[in-house]
A and B are shown apart, each in its own frame.
Chain A
Amino acid sequence: MALSSVSQTAFLLALLSLRTYQSEVLSEPLPSAPEFLKVSVNSTCQCLHLQWTVHNLSHHQEFRMVFQIEISRIKTSNVIWVENYTTTVKWNQVLHWSWESKLPLECAKHFIRMRSAVDTAKTPGPRVWSSWSSWEEADVQNSLGQDPLFVFPKDKLVEEGSNVTICYVSKSHQNNISCYLEGVRMQGEQLDPNVSVFNLNHVAFIRETGTNIYCKPGQGDRIKGTVLFVSKVLKEPKDFSCETQDLTTLNCTWDPGSDTGLLKQLSQSYALFESFSGKKTLCKHKSWCLWQVAPESQDMYNFTLTAENYLRKRSVHLLFNLTHRVHPMAPFNVLFKNVSATNATMTWKVHSIGKYHTLLCQVELYGEGKVTQHNVSVKVDGAHLFSGLEPDMEYMAQVRCANGDHFWKWSEWTQQNFTTAEAAPSEAPDVWRNVKTVQGRCVVTLFWKPLSKLQAHGKILFYNIVVDYLDRTSVSELLSIPAPANGTELPLSQCSSQIRIMANNSVGTSPASVIVVSREPGNEEVEEERVKGTEDGFPLSWKPQPRHVTGYLVEWCEHPQDPPCDLQWKNLGPNVTSTVVSSDAFRPGVRYNFRIYGISTERVPYLLARKTGYSQELAPSDNPQVVMTNLTSHSFTLSWKNYSTESQPSFIQGYHIYLKSKAGWCHSGSEKAVLSDDAAVCCKYKIDNPEQKTFVVENLQPESFYEFLVTPYTSVGEGPHDAFAKVTTPDEYSPTLIRIILPMVFCILLIMITCYLKSQWMKEKCYPDIPDPYKSSVLSLIKSKENPHLTIMNIKDCVPDSIEVLNKQEGTRKSLTETESTKPTYLYLLPTEKRYSSPGPCICFENFTYNQAASDSASCGHVPAPPKAPPSQLGLLTSPENLLKALEKNYMNSLGEIPAGETSLNYVSQLASPMSGDKSNLPINPPEPALCSEYKMQMAIPLGLASPPSSGSSSLSSVTLLDEGEHYH
């Protein structure tokens, strides 16, 4: 079919050309009918490309012709574009024309036709058009392939903000296809049943890798999409500028703006074109480019900088004279020559910018906290003399240069440091002194402040001190104190002296500072005044002195509480009568003392005033240590003599004495006060004199409990309300009683001592010794009568029942009965011979009546010792068998094995139990009537073990006889 239409068109064109030829013969330009050679579609640029020829042109004939081109979409009647394309046509020339479609060409059929006319623009009148060519169809839908869905255009590159049309072509006749731009559904319009179109306005740049647009058919079908590459808009380069440093190379710079590079598009490129020379260079960098200046003298340059990317081209222009764009290189070889204490010469070199040009250089000098600036004209080498410099000072100098003929830009700075030479110190050191007398000699302590850097003019090495004695009797003394000392102690051989102090550096000596020490004592009796410190310091003022003074001096200690009190001073002029002393070292609650001296014309300082004060007063943190004395039932005395009012954190104005009592009422002289700490009610006594440090609390109740507190008060408050001391007043009558009781006690003691000393006498009187029959005077009487029948009963013939041994020291009374103990010892013996059957000579005593522990052998030997028999068992020993059994048992048992109910008390009472017989037969002999009265041991027997009383006596006597040897151990 296409072939037939082409042949048909050719036939028609042939006819047309015939007519044209006829018209030409009629001397009128005849329209030439165009003949399409090719209509092609470029999907990448969405372009329709037309190629055609005009046939009826003769050789070497050229016509300016107009071709009117019509483009229809979907159907021929829907003309969407009409354009007249004018060009010069030669014989046999193939003509080209392209048209870019907004709508992707794959989305709809397009039809093209054209007609031609000879351009009659020069000659007025209507154009004579040829007939239309036949419609040419451009349809790429057929070549799409077999996929059910297509989205167009593919990978389109657009600028940000432009309008784009997207379409899809569905071959499956589905109508539920939804399309999305980066996840947001797009609303489209249907072009035909299979094609929908989406118009995107002002597309935004999202990312360099493109914007996804995709369409989703129904479930299970593959998604289809396209990527829209949105480029940032290429902007004009900003700040385009060219300059040269050496007149051989131009350096052109600009601000490129944002990068427009994408996957589908490289970043913009830059090119530099110079119109006078016609040269062009492609720039390798995005923001700068080098241009070689031609060796021939070209002064004027007209540059065009062009930025270009796939979509756009931008250019800027710059016209300038080369010598007006000189930006010199930084100076070099900066040196300092002839550096003295006050002068220095700086030299530098510059890079030449041609022999006809002069450079203007700027020199800056930094030092002493200020900047000075100088301008210097330079051809090749620059030099500048700095004068009026400070000695021994470090300076920084810098220099920069610019074209002096046509200023464009300064070069970079070149810096260099230098230090001026030292000079002798310019100022005398600031000196002050403290004079004291040690063992009759004046000792001066000198203090001086180090010279400032501006005064020292170099490193201070030592201080020279010259002492000249004013009475000229002593030789001057010279001392040298090495730096960095700031003082020295100087014993003077005489007080009246003049002291000169000089600082020395390596170059020379400073002027001398003169201090005169006077023999006269200072006016130490100046009354101390109080001064109130402020935030700015202590304002001090004094009366102007009638006599001539060369100045005043204020002296104080920065750390008055520490031993090296850090003496400070401040020199003031002769016309000054007030000053404010301030220091960072001042602390609240510290008392500072200031002494103001006037300096006489003879350089003798004399004390004018004394001031004391606090930078800020603080309430006392401690209360005085109070001692209580003279406690009576109605009063006591409080004393705090050791309390120093000087070392308190504020001026003490007086004291408050608080007294707490249960009475709750206060006497006159005190007032009720409520302490905020514990809301207790107290009586408050007030002392207005800070130096009154005793107080008598009176009108107290006897035998009452009181609490008291002494606290200082100041203008900023009083001391802490803690630690009340406690006191209880004594009884009113106690002193009287003591006056009576003490003598009585003394008397009793005296009597007791007297009794002790006279004990022998007392004994003699009250308890005389029993007379010794052998020493009796009766004996001598008997012996004298020579009567042998008369005898005295020998004590050996008597079997004693019991012997009492008295503590008698006489050796003559030592006998069998003697023991080591001073206590009376009782020995019990039984009568062994029946011949002593009559009562009389055989009388024994057992003098103790109660023995609590039978086992306690120390109390009485009456208890049988070895068997350690519990006495409770003794009562059971009614027969020899029982006795033997008891013995066996007792030998086997220990004390710890004594059954609990068997222990008992035993005691001895008088028992008239007559006993007789041989002691060897005792266990088997029945008891016989006793001739001697004796004391017997009796036991308290537990109820369960109690035996009949009849058998008790015999058993007891048998026990007493158990072993005689045991008693006399």
Chain B
Amino acid sequence: MIEAPFCLLTLLLLPLSPGAPITPAEPISQAYSLALYMQKNTSALLQTYLQHQGSPFSDPGFSAPELQLSSLPPAAVSFKTWHALDDGERLSHAQGAFLALTQHLQLVGDDQRDLNPGSPILLAQLGAARLRAQGLLGNMAAIMTALGLPIPPEEDTLGVVPFQASAFERKCRGYVVTREYGHWTDRAVRDLALLKAKYPG
């Protein structure tokens, strides 16, 4: 199950190699395909995650939008604001978000390895989500290169915060991360669809 995304990532990471094509259509198309693929699995990841955390997370219809992480930018944005963004800003926001998401998914994976050591399915899904986020980052970098946009430098978004968190806080943190991963993936699909329309292949 994990091998397929790996193969996909290998393919999608190819544009990062030297001699990548200058035209943005191809990396946009690849990024769009990956984002669509990711979109299919985000809901399952969130559900699997919640099922493993116990009540109230595993309760039917659980939702806690008030839970946020200061280290993770929220994907929710007004349509007007989003629409007013130019390509560079849009890509830059997504780039920043997925960079933070990859680090947070790593953290959540570690947390769950402690909290739910007997749940290999959850751990595998978290690992796969992190790899896909990394793959999308690579694709976005290729798009920005092709569009001649500056690539923002990698930052340590997590800092030193998380290690003293209690088990409940870690569960909440994982919920926010898996939820925002879905939201950001949805947003990335919209972003890339817009770009795809602008730069048809």
A214→B116 CA distance, assembly (Å): 19
Q: Is the CB of A180 within 8 A of B56?
A: yes
Q: Is the CB of A209 within 8 A of B168?
A: no
Q: Is the CB of A222 within 8 A of B54?
A: no
A227→B172 CA distance, assembly (Å): 12
Q: Is the CB of B67 within 8 A of A227?
A: no
B114 at the interface (CB under 8 A from A): yes
A208 at the interface (CB under 8 A from B): yes
Which residues of chain A come closer than 8 Å to B64, judged between CB atoms? 222-223
Residues on B lying within 8 angstroms of A by beta carbon are 52-57, 59, 64, 66-67, 114-118, 166-168, 171-172
Which residues of chain B come closer than 8 Å to A214, judged between CB atoms? 56, 168
- Nearest A residue to B65 via CB reads A220
A-B contact pairs, 23 of them (CB 8 A): A154-B166, A154-B168, A155-B166, A180-B55, A207-B54, A208-B118, A210-B115, A214-B168, A222-B66, A222-B67, A222-B172, A223-B56, A223-B66, A223-B67, A226-B166, A226-B167, A226-B168, A227-B166, A229-B167, A263-B114, A263-B115, A263-B117, A263-B167
Q: Is the CB of B116 within 8 A of A209?
A: yes
Given contacts A182-B55, A208-B118, contact A220 B167 (CB under 8 A): no
Interface-central residue, B59, B67, B166, B167, by most chain A CB under 10 Å? B167
In chain A between 179 and 201, which residues have their CB closer than 8 angstroms to a CB of chain B?
180, 182-183
Which residues of chain B come closer than 8 Å to A225, judged between CB atoms? 168, 172
Which residues of chain A come closer than 8 Å to B117, judged between CB atoms? 263
A732→B154 CA distance, assembly (Å): 130
Q: Is the CB of B168 within 8 A of A227?
A: yes
Q: Is the CB of B114 within 8 A of A224?
A: no
Given contacts A209-B115, A209-B116, contact A182 B54 (CB under 8 A): yes
Which residues of chain A come closer than 8 Å to B167, judged between CB atoms? 154-155, 210, 226-227, 229, 263
Given contacts A183-B59, A227-B166, contact A211 B54 (CB under 8 A): yes
- Nearest A residue to B52 via CB reads A209
Which residues of chain B come closer than 8 Å to A221, judged between CB atoms? 66
A393→B29 CA distance, assembly (Å): 82
In chain A between 140 and 184, which residues have their CB closer than 8 angstroms to a CB of chain B?
151, 154-155, 180, 182-183
Which residues of chain B come closer than 8 Å to A210, judged between CB atoms? 54, 115, 167
Interface-central residue, A207, A211, A222, A225, by most chain B CB under 10 Å? A225
Given contacts A212-B168, A220-B66, contact A183 B114 (CB under 8 A): no
Which residues of chain B come closer than 8 Å to A155, judged between CB atoms? 166-168
A693→B201 CA distance, assembly (Å): 106
A681→B57 CA distance, assembly (Å): 86
Which residues of chain B come closer than 8 Å to A211, judged between CB atoms? 54
Residues on A lying within 8 angstroms of B by beta carbon are 151, 154-155, 180, 182-183, 206-212, 214, 220-227, 229, 263
A154→B52 CA distance, assembly (Å): 19
- Residues of A contacting B: mostly: loop
Q: Is the CB of A224 within 8 A of B55?
A: no
A155→B59 CA distance, assembly (Å): 21
Interface-central residue, B55, B66, B116, by most chain A CB under 10 Å? B55
Q: Is the CB of A212 within 8 A of B67?
A: no
A183→B62 CA distance, assembly (Å): 12
A155→B52 CA distance, assembly (Å): 17
A-B residue pairs, 3 tightest by C-beta: A227-B167, A154-B166, A183-B55
- Nearest B residue to A153 via CB reads B166
CB distance from B31 to the nearest CB of A (A): 34
A775→B117 CA distance, assembly (Å): 149
CB distance from A337 to the nearest CB of B (A): 58
- Nearest A residue to B68 via CB reads A222
A207→B56 CA distance, assembly (Å): 15
CB distance from B179 to the nearest CB of A (A): 14
Which residues of chain B come closer than 8 Å to A208, judged between CB atoms? 118
- Nearest B residue to A221 via CB reads B66
A155→B168 CA distance, assembly (Å): 8
Which residues of chain A come closer than 8 Å to B57, judged between CB atoms? 212
Which residues of chain B come closer than 8 Å to A180, judged between CB atoms? 55-56
Q: Is the CB of A209 within 8 A of B67?
A: no
Which residues of chain B come closer than 8 Å to A222, judged between CB atoms? 64, 66-67, 172
Which residue of B54, B114, B118 is within 8 Å of A212 (Cβ)? B54
A644→B56 CA distance, assembly (Å): 90
CB distance from A741 to the nearest CB of B (A): 106
- Nearest B residue to A224 via CB reads B168
CB distance from B161 to the nearest CB of A (A): 12
A221→B172 CA distance, assembly (Å): 14
A192→B120 CA distance, assembly (Å): 45
- Nearest A residue to B116 via CB reads A209
A226→B54 CA distance, assembly (Å): 12
Q: Is the CB of A212 within 8 A of B66?
A: no
Which residues of chain A come closer than 8 Å to B116, judged between CB atoms? 209
CB distance from B70 to the nearest CB of A (A): 12
A154→B115 CA distance, assembly (Å): 14
Q: Is the CB of A212 within 8 A of B166?
A: no
CB distance from B181 to the nearest CB of A (A): 19
Which residues of chain B come closer than 8 Å to A212, judged between CB atoms? 53-57, 168, 171
- Nearest A residue to B119 via CB reads A209
A207→B58 CA distance, assembly (Å): 14
CB distance from B76 to the nearest CB of A (A): 15
Which residues of chain A come closer than 8 Å to B55, judged between CB atoms? 180, 182-183, 212
Which residues of chain A come closer than 8 Å to B115, judged between CB atoms? 209-210, 263
CB distance from B73 to the nearest CB of A (A): 18
- Nearest B residue to A226 via CB reads B168
A225→B66 CA distance, assembly (Å): 14
Which residues of chain B come closer than 8 Å to A220, judged between CB atoms? 66
